[in-house]
Amino acid sequence: MLPHKPIQDFVKIISLLPGIGPRQALRLAYHLLHLSPKKQQEFIRTTQGLFSKMKLCSDCFLPFEPRSSKEKLCEICRDPSRDHSVICVVEKETDLLTIEKTKKYHGVYHILGGLYSGKKKKQGASFTLPQLIQRVKRYSKSTRPIREIILALNPTSEGNLTSYYIEKAIRNLNLNIKITRLARGIPSGGEIEFADSETLINALEGRK
């Protein structure tokens, strides 16, 4: 017997999430159907809130909760005490959170949303390298141009390849921007997201 249509639809959409396959999605569907009506309503409200209350920062692509519909920049990008001439490029939000936890980085970020793999671009929901280039170009004409770009991608083959492409794209702009990478310390193939603060601070301070 095939699962009913509403379940099939649910599985189709939930399987799009990272790390969740059709089988797991099916299990989730059955699990949710056994929740109490109160919990089911809570689930709907929370999911809806996630989409309706959150928005992506137009500069760095970090999701944030705007105070008004006009607000376009996240808390970090609109913080005047941060150094807006330094952009730290990370693959995903959780990498940003780990770096923020060190409290030693005072620049801004750019969430890339994906990595290159081999010759083909990885199918991320949104790969924001073109937007990074646009952002750098836009700010180079303003009163606060970008001085440095820190490539803080995981030291995997995909991360390294992506760093190489970003570096090439930035150099092609001829804007005299310093491009640095995190110093060694993050184990090769390791993940920034799970690095401890001390390792990360050393990697940030020793960047070159």
Q: Which residues bind Zn ion (CB under 5 A)?
A: 57, 59-60, 62, 74, 77
Percent helix, strand and coil across the chain, each to the nearest 5:
40, 15, 45
Sequence-separated (6 or more) residues with CB below 8 Å from residue 48: none
Which residue, chain included where needed, has tokens 């490539």?
151
Q: Which is nearer to Zn ion, 60 or 99 (CB)?
A: 60
Smallest distance from Zn ion to CB 65, Å: 12
Smallest distance from Zn ion to CB 87, Å: 10
Smallest distance from Zn ion to CB 80, Å: 13
Smallest distance from Zn ion to CB 72, Å: 9
Q: Which is nearer to Zn ion, 48 or 58 (CB)?
A: 58
Q: Which is nearer to Zn ion, 68 or 174 (CB)?
A: 68
What is the spatial distance between Cα 144 and Cα 84, in angstroms, rounded to a whole number? 7
Q: E strand or H helix at 33, and its extent?
A: helix 22-33
SS3 152: coil
What is the spatial distance between Cα 181 and Cα 179, in angstroms, rounded to a whole number? 7
Q: Which is nearer to Zn ion, 71 or 167 (CB)?
A: 71
